[in-house]
Amino acid sequence: LDYITAIGGSAIHCLAGKVPVDQRPAAERTYIANLMRAADMAAEKNIVILIEPINPRDRPDYFLNRPEHAADIIAKAGKSNIRIQFDFYHAQIMEGDIIRTIRENIQHIAHFHTGGNPGRNELDDTPELNWRTIAKTIADLNFQGFVAHEFVPKRDPLTSLREAALLCDV
């Protein structure tokens, strides 16, 4: 918290960690208790706690896999400064139907991450997602947070970043 405050940040991404299936009920109780404690401390500094569903193909046994699970955790924690970091790459792998998922969870989302799928590469290299339509949906929902690009470029990184920004500019 001291570091994020010193650099003028507004959010901290708190990883859920890996948990074997048989330990998930106990892990959920611990995770919620830890998030509540972190959220209380962060609220004093006007900081948002971000939780990110991550697909189990890339991170086997990762505790948090779906936006709906993240929304449930947020509801159970009952802290207004715990929000979702929605990563398109992970969400597409887990369930697709991105626009419906965004609409159903927008009230819990504070940050978006782009990333092409398959491969987490450039956005224009992604036949599965229509980035302009996604960006328009986010804008139409009056989203006030950040949409950040988190992909592994196959080409020149700065050119790829400029292209991604243009593709999502609505």
Q: What pLDDT tens digit does each residue of the chain (170 aa) get?
A: 999 999 999 999 999 999 999 999 999 999 999 999 999 999 999 999 999 999 999 999 999 999 999 999 999 999 999 999 999 999 999 989 999 999 999 999 999 999 998 889 999 877 889 999 999 999 999 999 999 999 999 999 999 999 999 999 98
* Cα R_g (the chain), whole angstroms: 16
Q: Which of 44, 95, 122, 150 does the annotation list as catalytic?
A: 150
Active site residue 52: yes
Q: Where are the beta strands (DSSP E) in 7-98?
A: 11-13, 48-51, 82-87
Active site residue 150: yes
Q: Which of 28, 52, 122, 163 does the annotation list as catalytic?
A: 52
